[in-house]
Amino acid sequence: MAIHPIDYRYGSKEMRQIFTEENKIQKMLEVEAALAKAHAAVGNIPKEAAEEISRKATTKFIKVQRVKEIEEETKHDLMALVKALTEASGKSGAWVHLGATSNDIIDTSLALQIKDALEIFRKDLIDILKLIAHLANSHKDTLCVGRTHGIHATVYVFGHKFAVWADEIMRHIERLEQCRDRVCVGKMSGVVGTQAGFGSHAKEIQNLAMQYLGLRAAPITTQIVPRDRLSELICLLALISSSLDKFATEIRNLQRTEIREVEEPFKEETQVGSTALPHKRNPINSEKISGLAKILRGTVIPALENVVSWHERDLSNSSCERAIIPEAFILLDEQLKTFKKVLEGLHIYPENIARNLHLTKGLIMTESIVLALVNKGLGRQEAHEIVRKCAMEVWNTQKTLAEVLKSNPAVTRYLKSEEIEEALDPAKYIGTAKQQIQEVVERTKTIEF
Amino acid sequence: MAIHPIDYRYGSKEMRQIFTEENKIQKMLEVEAALAKAHAAVGNIPKEAAEEISRKATTKFIKVQRVKEIEEETKHDLMALVKALTEASGKSGAWVHLGATSNDIIDTSLALQIKDALEIFRKDLIDILKLIAHLANSHKDTLCVGRTHGIHATVYVFGHKFAVWADEIMRHIERLEQCRDRVCVGKMSGVVGTQAGFGSHAKEIQNLAMQYLGLRAAPITTQIVPRDRLSELICLLALISSSLDKFATEIRNLQRTEIREVEEPFKEETQVGSTALPHKRNPINSEKISGLAKILRGTVIPALENVVSWHERDLSNSSCERAIIPEAFILLDEQLKTFKKVLEGLHIYPENIARNLHLTKGLIMTESIVLALVNKGLGRQEAHEIVRKCAMEVWNTQKTLAEVLKSNPAVTRYLKSEEIEEALDPAKYIGTAKQQIQEVVERTKTIEF
Amino acid sequence: MAIHPIDYRYGSKEMRQIFTEENKIQKMLEVEAALAKAHAAVGNIPKEAAEEISRKATTKFIKVQRVKEIEEETKHDLMALVKALTEASGKSGAWVHLGATSNDIIDTSLALQIKDALEIFRKDLIDILKLIAHLANSHKDTLCVGRTHGIHATVYVFGHKFAVWADEIMRHIERLEQCRDRVCVGKMSGVVGTQAGFGSHAKEIQNLAMQYLGLRAAPITTQIVPRDRLSELICLLALISSSLDKFATEIRNLQRTEIREVEEPFKEETQVGSTALPHKRNPINSEKISGLAKILRGTVIPALENVVSWHERDLSNSSCERAIIPEAFILLDEQLKTFKKVLEGLHIYPENIARNLHLTKGLIMTESIVLALVNKGLGRQEAHEIVRKCAMEVWNTQKTLAEVLKSNPAVTRYLKSEEIEEALDPAKYIGTAKQQIQEVVERTKTIEF
Amino acid sequence: MAIHPIDYRYGSKEMRQIFTEENKIQKMLEVEAALAKAHAAVGNIPKEAAEEISRKATTKFIKVQRVKEIEEETKHDLMALVKALTEASGKSGAWVHLGATSNDIIDTSLALQIKDALEIFRKDLIDILKLIAHLANSHKDTLCVGRTHGIHATVYVFGHKFAVWADEIMRHIERLEQCRDRVCVGKMSGVVGTQAGFGSHAKEIQNLAMQYLGLRAAPITTQIVPRDRLSELICLLALISSSLDKFATEIRNLQRTEIREVEEPFKEETQVGSTALPHKRNPINSEKISGLAKILRGTVIPALENVVSWHERDLSNSSCERAIIPEAFILLDEQLKTFKKVLEGLHIYPENIARNLHLTKGLIMTESIVLALVNKGLGRQEAHEIVRKCAMEVWNTQKTLAEVLKSNPAVTRYLKSEEIEEALDPAKYIGTAKQQIQEVVERTKTIEF
């Protein structure tokens, strides 16, 4: 029976596959194969031996079950794998793992897993970027109320929300690319990093092995690849996760009964909810995204603590990474996939957006009126005071700001009725919002990773 | 294939069992049964119906597979369980889950799991306490060097280290007891906490149901039991985990090749290590304990964030707790079990302890000499200066402090050779250490939980 | 010019005073005085010397400036203080700091500061408890809508929100009391905890000194009081802070323009806001509370890491605690004081609460209607289906649920118009909410700390 | 009296100056000046007005005290500054802050502070890099023991430790450069990001103002620059801090009495220590570095939580950033400056390094002997077994590995005495370590930032 939700509930099949025990073993075998081939290439071992090892270095031949049996005896997981591969490779087995220390294989195969996982993130981020860009573009003319501190502030443009998100996603893509270059490195450097066990072609062996695997070689290491590389990545995953939390929180807030400008996708027929309340559509997907972000933020702490290691390595990163790496990757994957689903089916209610825009009866347009009065030559302080009094009247009565302004001689002395209407028109007071949206949307089209 | 190490590697069988999907369902069924019995007790439903529901409310009858099938349709895990129990209970099924909201069952069954898990921690802490007390007592006369900043400071007693640990463990037992009283609470309070769905005997129903389950009822809740209770517990688990990290770090430091006062248990014959080095016994168990503590510290963040919830509850605690609760419990369990194993087989090397005590050739006893001089009437400042100069000579030559002191007239004017010897005798300069150890050891015998 | 906001912006005067450099020195002097008196009591030093030291052991005589000057030379802050006190005490100075190590003074004086600070927290929590209890009691009959996931769920009672908070505050008071007993301990145990420097009356000296200071003696320590004690406290402060974040978030949400059931206090005349918008009253105090809670959560990490220390102590807790202790205390103090102010002047708008209760035109009462139908003998499933269809009609038209139900023959066959009205009456569907509130309010009256 | 250590103890003068209240106001004034000049450039306001505002926009004219007085009345710090500048600018004052919202000034001036602070970090990192590269180069031929798990593993090269650090510092420089591009952005985008208040030249005004200030304009914002930018930076500062923690921990470990390969700088004459122990030189600087790293790791949590903000901004980042930004910068500055000082005066003890290398009497060279035997044609398994037995003999007697090997016929059959000597020579078993060091050192010379 499964215990941890990444084992039974969260994560896409493709992402979870990367972090299964089986795939971990598969990647380690690939590293052993690359090492054998590199040795052969520099003439350290027979080409045929390398070929035989490479042929056997797959979980088709090396069964997880067998590796686990050997580990039961030896209490050392990597040595168990080496033994199993040695067994399977017949007399070529003598050339398995030549000169290497366990961590040459462990760190390098981890880089392979990460590389595959980052490729999935890349795709998801780009899918999300496209969905957001589409929403931004679709609502570049939808006026809405802008809220600061949760309070109505001034007129805003609905699509601008999404354009802000798109810009943020593009930053994440850029960060991921920069970080990938630093984190996708492997090593063949031995017990303390000197490569003493690899003989005179050590450097070449390392370079060739990494080339076969599609990784860069770390320029210098101790027994382990320094953990600042991995810690940087975990911080970045937590950062992306927190952005998703922000987006999800926006959807949760906009879906509130009193606001209801958007709703997560739902199936009208089957997904009735437990009670009879038809309005009870809970933003459960967005809530899940927010919930998982908390865990991701928590993983940053062990990741940063792992940077510290005694001398040429201590082992305290090992147990820790066994848990936090699959967790961080699979939970972020769950968030990304969930967010994609939410965006794909997001319901947007223009009538509610419009209703909320006018909820304060024009009060959100006072700044525009002040500007109009000042443009007519009224002093700024005076204009402010006149408008403030009008606003108070709106607030204390059932009148709209338009009505109050039009019946106030101090205003009508400067502004004609149609000028008041114009200054109160939200559509006239959105600055460069539309242009900003369009520029961001254009930029999303140029993104590759 | 398992992914998360709590699913394939860490945690005792007994602790992991508590957090399996199956046991979670079992506990929920027990809560449903308790609810039905409470309804029957106050006359809301037929006694026979409650009996039938109780009889079926076990995973013997309600198969996990069936619950999962229903969840596949309904997308709601608790409702799936209710449906499955309803099915199984025949016409008594009509009385299943009466008046309750999902979270009445979820939060209450979580409290049952936690209660069982805390009982395991209690046992482990007491086992560890006994082992530590034994070590403290066995080494209450073993002199060693005390180190501050990693530098030799003065004479110390080896058993005192363990007595300090024992005192710390006793504090954790006390904390766990206090926290348990706050965290092991359940509820039958409905959608927003008013108990409106339970009818006129609501309070009695809640109290009876909790009584059947061995829990206290939360005095007041919203839809959920407020999360400060759970967050407090997670903080405490992280605190215990950090103490274990301290103890493990001490063992790792004392096992260093240059120090080597202790060694983790090892099997001389089979556990040879990957290289031929017989001294290469790595403190891998203690390193694992340190590694897992980092994760526990990280779980505190989501736990604290979960305290915040919108209005009568939002769902963002749910996904988060699915991961962090089993993780915190199972990883701490792994630490405790591992530490117990380390303590049980800990090798202690008195000859190395003695060697290190004398490594600085008496320099760690200078304070004692100053005291002896002052007791003979020498001024404190003067005494200091004389001893400081002697110490410098020891430092810059190969002589011992005893040799230098005995050949210094400024010293011998006040102290006879045997008085110098006495003042340099580490055994005479350990204050109340032995008495402190004995008192702590005595106190450990009174601990119950 | 001040840099950190606890130096120029946050924290009450009384709390900040505790953590000034001057008060830190004052507390250290008090510990030195207690030590001298204890020595005198056991006959180690002349009574007059102890009296003279005690008389001078105050910042009236020992100027901070002088201590800093000496520190400039010696690079050791505690030694500088000892020198300054020695200077000031004339020939009695010879008896200053006798047998003690720096950390005997540092840890003990820290406990004194903490004790004073916890007394302030106690008062603030009780003040807040009273304010909350008053709000709970005042609104025990105020019906409102209950929200889960941000969505309207069912009828609720406004005062119940506060009763839930009151219960939470009472838990915090209980926790603080339990934690205080563990954290307010001092020590006179010397360089590595053996008390070797204090002579034959060591235990008595420690006990007397602590008695004079109103602290308990730690039963056993190394050079430092083990840090699990302090870490537990920081976790608790972060927990209290997170509860305040929850309460503040509720106020921020209830103050949203679309909801507007409450508003933070504001001064109508002077606090107009930067724009002319009279509705723009931002919940800035509650936002500040939420903002500071994030910092408090962050301090838990260093506090937990500080539990680990090498051998008989390393120094890495020292720099860390210099920052996080005043920060955690002063920022929580700021939160408590701010929250008190918010509660004292909280505006509650019953008309908006009522408006929101009815926003879904009766839909939040469907559960009650189902119950009424079932009570009349209709099958549960049937009743559900009928009500669900009615609810859909409300949702898709402008009608109220009452109107729809009364015109539905399937309903009216079972329920008379007045029975429908009764079942739709929110006031009839609040279960034990009022009784719960009253019980909590009663309990708040029994709290002492 | 100061409270927080960044106000009285930590941080260089230059770094602390950046985060004083006065400099914060200075930077805000510079932003107001840039805005006025931009308005003038597009013809919105008279050039003379912009000049007058610019002339007055300095703390020479706008006194902090005056700003604080106005804030006392208005309860709004930025508005107080605007008023003070308006006062000071005479009739040009009418054009101050035109079209801007408070946060246009706050976020932009924060970017200016960060830019200056990053410049200091750049210099410190490069200084440190040079010092480390020098150490690496100086010790590229110093053989030492390599330790994994704290246990002696095999021969290593002392300079390689530093080369590993140098490579890590170069990664940090690269990261800081990439991050700087994202974080050093300002904005003139108004209340919700639409630029509505800036009129038809809004985009140009923003671009010009940023150009005057040496910043890039954020392409799109809400009221605030999205916080992922700042959060990324804080994560990076914590990452750098954790690397320093690693380096400091290495020094602390190497300075242990039993190891003593290095010592922090100390002044033999004045810095005697509180006791008479001449060997008691504590690594207090490195301990401070480790201690502060804990705080930095803690700041990552609030930074990540700040990414989430409601709608077009909530205020909960504001109080939080007031504390964590100066704290993170000044404490990292303290770490960097301290580490520089430690490196500049680091004592390295070649004789102790040599002693430790030979502590296990050749056992760390067994791998090399196995290799030598295999090269002579012996089977790997056989060779292993022979050497393992020899190693056991060394372990259980006082003999060296050389002695044992030379008297073992199974060995001498394959290896002559001089071949044994050669295989046991640590200098022959360091692989490419020296070459790696040289390559890293060469690379450090190419670094600019």
Mean pLDDT of chain A: 95
Q: Which two tokens stand for residue A233?
A: 């990545």
* Share above pLDDT 70 across residues of chain D, in percent, rounded to a whole number: 97
Catalytic positions of B, written as ranges: 149, 274
**Binning pLDDT at 50, 70 and 90, where does residue A97 land?**
very high
**pLDDT value, residue A381:** 79
> What is the Cβ-side half-sphere exposure of residue D10, based on CA atoms within 13 angstroms?
28
Whether residue B61 has pLDDT greater than 60: yes
pLDDT at D436: 98
- CA B344 to chain D, closest CA, distance in angstroms equals 21
pLDDT score recorded for residue B220: 98
Lowest mean pLDDT among A403-412, C388-397, D207-216: C388-397
Residue C147 DSSP SS3 = strand
Tell me what pLDDT residue A260 has. Answer: 97
Mutation pick from D104, D294, D321, D335 vs chain C, by most beta carbons of C within 10 Å, is D294
* β-bridge pairing C185-186 and C216-217: parallel
pLDDT of residue C449: 56
Output the DSSP codes for C363-374. Answer: GGGHHHHHHHHH
Mean pLDDT of the A420-444 span? 97
* Catalytic option among D89, D97, D138, D274: D274
pLDDT of residue D384: 85
Count other C-beta atoms under 10 Å from residue C397's C-beta.
11
pLDDT at B269 over 80: no
Chains that touch B (3 or more CB pairs under 8 A): A, C, D
Helices (H), B214-263: 228-254
3-state secondary structure of A278: coil
**How much is the pLDDT for C72?**
85
For D145-161, the DSSP string reads EEEETTEEEEEEEHHHH
Strands (E), B190-230: 216-217
Q: Which of D316, D335, D341 is the best substitution to test chain C (most C C-beta atoms within 10 A)?
A: D316
Whether the Cβ atoms of residue A395 and residue A359 lie closer than 8 Å to each other: no
Kindly state the average pLDDT of the residues B47-74.
93
Q: What's the mean pLDDT in D394-415?
A: 94
Alpha carbon of residue C204 to chain centroid: 37
Q: Give the closest residue to D365 by CA, choosing from D389, D401, D411, D413.
A: D401
Task: For tokens 């009385």, name the residue.
Answer: B95
* pLDDT for residue B274 is more than 90: no
Amino acid in position A332: L
Query: In this structure, what token pair is assigned to residue C123?
Result: 């008062």
pLDDT band for C428, please (50, 70, 90 cuts): very high
Q: What is the pLDDT of residues C330-355, one digit of tens each?
A: 999 999 999 999 999 999 999 999 99
The pair of three-digit structure tokens given for residue D56, joined into one six-digit string: 């007055």
Tell me, rounded to whole angstroms, the distance of Cα D317 from its chain centroid. Answer: 24
Widest CA span in chain D: 103
Q: What is the pLDDT of residue C374?
A: 86
Query: Measured between beta carbons, which residues in chain B are less than 8 angstroms from residue A292?
Result: 319-320, 323
> Considering only CA atoms, which of C32, B373, B274 is closest in space to residue A223?
B274
Cβ-based contacts of B77 with chain A (< 8 Å): none
Q: How far apart are CA B7 and CA B13, in angstroms?
A: 11
| pLDDT on residue A326 | 98
DSSP β-bridge partners for residue D143:
D157
Asked if residue B322 lies in contact with residue B4, where contact means CB atoms within 8 angstroms, the answer is: no
Checking if the pLDDT of B267 tops 80, the result is no
What digits encode the pLDDT tens for the residues B281-313? 899 999 999 999 999 999 999 999 999 999 999
As a whole-number percent, the residues of chain B with pLDDT over 70 amount to 97
**D152 and chain A in contact, CB less than 8 A:** no
Alpha-carbon distance of D109 to D115, in angstroms, equals 10
Helices D21-41 and D202-213 pack at an angle, to 10 degrees, of: 130
Among A256-270, C319-333, C393-407, which stretch is predicted with the lowest mean pLDDT? A256-270
- C219-241 pLDDT per residue, tens: 999 999 999 999 999 999 999 99
SS3 D166: helix
Average pLDDT, chain D: 95
Of C155, D437, D77, which Cα lies nearest the Cα of A220? D437
The pLDDT, as a whole number, for residue A388 is: 87
Catalytic residue among D39, D149, D279, D384: D149
Whether the CB-CB separation of C11 and C36 falls below 8 Å is answered with: no
Query: By the 8 A CB rule, do C259 and A258 touch?
Result: yes
* Displacement of CA D262 from its chain's centroid (Å): 22
Concerning whether D384 is annotated as a catalytic residue, the answer is no
Reply yes or no on whether the pLDDT at A240 is more than 90: yes
Q: What is the pLDDT of residue A277?
A: 67
Q: Is C246 on the interface with D (CB under 8 A)?
A: no
Q: What is the pLDDT of residue B268?
A: 63
Q: What is the DSSP letter of D282?
A: -
pLDDT at residue D278, as a whole number:
67
pLDDT at D398: 86
Angle between helices C417-424 and C366-375 (to 10 degrees): 130
C57 neighbors C29 (Cβ within 8 angstroms): yes
- Per residue in C127-144, pLDDT (tens digit) is 999 999 999 999 999 999
Tell me if D359 and B384 make a contact (CB, 8 A cut-off): no
Q: Are strands D262-263 and D347-348 parallel, antiparallel or unpaired?
A: antiparallel
Report d(CA B376, CA D313) in Å as an integer: 74
pLDDT grade for A166, boundaries at 50, 70 and 90: very high
Residues C277-295 have a mean pLDDT of: 91
Q: Tell me the per-residue pLDDT of B103-142, one tens digit each, with 9 for 90 and over.
A: 999 999 999 999 999 999 999 999 999 999 999 999 999 9
Predicted local distance difference test score (pLDDT) of residue A395: 84
Cα A360 to Cα D92: distance, rounded to the nearest angstrom: 35
Q: Which residues of C touch D284 (CB under 8 A)?
A: 315
The number of beta carbons lying within 10 Å of the beta carbon of residue D442 is 11
Answer whether residue B265 shows pLDDT above 80. yes
Q: What is the 3-state secondary structure (H, E, C) of chain B?
A: CCCCHHHHCCCCHHHHHHCCHHHHHHHHHHHHHHHHHHHHHCCCCCHHHHHHHHHHCCCCCCCHHHHHHHHHHHCCHHHHHHHHHHHHCHHHHHHCCCCCCHHHHHHHHHHHHHHHHHHHHHHHHHHHHHHHHHHHHHCCCCEEEEEECCEEEEEEEHHHHHHHHHHHHHHHHHHHHHHHHHHCEECCCCCCCCCHHHHHHHHHHHHHHHHHHCCEECCCCCCCCCCHHHHHHHHHHHHHHHHHHHHHHHHHHHCCCCCCCEECCCCCCCCCCCCCCCCCCCCHHHHHHHHHHHHHHHHHHHHHHCCCCCCCCCCHHHHHHHHHHHHHHHHHHHHHHHHHHHHHCCEECHHHHHHHHCCCCCHHHHHHHHHHHHHCCCCHHHHHHHHHHHHHHHHHCCCCHHHHHHCCHHHHCCCCHHHHHHHHCHHHCCCCHHHHHHHHHHHHCCCCC
Beta bridge partners of C347: C263
D2–chain C Cβ distance below 8 A for any pair: yes
Q: Look up D149 and say whether it is catalytic.
A: yes
Q: What is the pTM of this model?
A: 0.97
Tens of pLDDT, residues D121-168: 999 999 999 999 999 999 999 999 999 999 999 999 999 999 999 999
Asked if residues A232 and A182 have their Cβ atoms less than 8 Å apart, the reply is yes
pLDDT in tens, B379-397: 877 888 899 899 889 988 8
Does residue D273 surpass a pLDDT of 60?
no
- Under the banding of pLDDT at 50, 70 and 90, the label for residue C381 is confident
Amino acid C42: pLDDT:
98
**CA D328, D329, D335, D339 torsion-angle sign:** positive
pLDDT surpassing 90 at residue D256: yes
What band does A377 get if pLDDT is binned at 50, 70 and 90?
A: confident
**What pLDDT, on a 0 to 100 scale, did the predictor assign at position D380?**
78
Q: Tell me how close the Cα of C317 comes to any Cα of chain B, in angstroms.
A: 11
Residues 6+ away with beta carbon under 8 Å from C298: D298, D299, D300, D301, D302, D324
Q: What is the DSSP letter of B258?
A: T
Residue D72 dihedral angles phi and psi, to the nearest 5°? -55, -40
Mean pLDDT estimate for chain C: 95
Q: Rounded distance, CA A380 to CA A373, Å?
A: 8
Q: Would the pLDDT of D9 be above 80?
A: yes
> In this structure, are residues D337 and D289 in contact, taking their beta carbons and an 8 Å threshold?
no
Task: List alpha helices for C139-185, DSSP H.
Answer: 158-183
| Radius of gyration for chain D, computed over Cα atoms and rounded to the nearest angstrom | 30
For residue C77, what pLDDT band results from cuts at 50, 70 and 90? confident
Residue of chain B whose Cα is closest to the Cα of C159:
B194
**Closest alpha carbon to D107 in D196, D22, D213:** D213
Looking at the DSSP bridge assignments, the partners of residue C146 are C154
Parallel, antiparallel, or unpaired for β A151-157 and D143-148?
A: unpaired
Residue D142: the pLDDT is: 98
pLDDT tens per residue across span D436-445 = 999 999 999 9
Residue D110 has pLDDT above 90, yes or no: yes
Tell whether A256 lies on the interface with C, counting CB pairs under 8 A: yes
Contacts of C217 (CB under 8 A, 6+ apart): C185, C186, C187, C188, C206, C207, C210
Distance of alpha carbon C194 from alpha carbon C202, whole angstroms: 9
Distance (Å) from the alpha carbon of C373 to chain B's nearest alpha carbon: 14
Are residues A371 and A387 in contact, defined by beta-carbon separation less than 8 angstroms?
A: no
* Chains with at least 3 CB pairs less than 8 angstroms from chain D: A, B, C
pLDDT at B442: 97
Give residue-wise pLDDT tens across range C103-133: 999 999 999 999 999 999 999 999 999 999 9
For residues D333-341, give the mean pLDDT: 98
pLDDT digits (tens, 9 = 90+) for D175-193: 999 999 999 999 999 999 9
Count Cβ neighbours within 10 Å for each residue of D341-371 and write b for 16 or more, e otherwise. ebbeebeebeebbbebbebbbbbbbbbbbbb
Are C388 and C410 a contacting pair, CB within 8 Å? Answer: no
pLDDT in tens, C246-265: 999 999 999 999 999 999 99
Give mean pLDDT, residues D80-89: 94
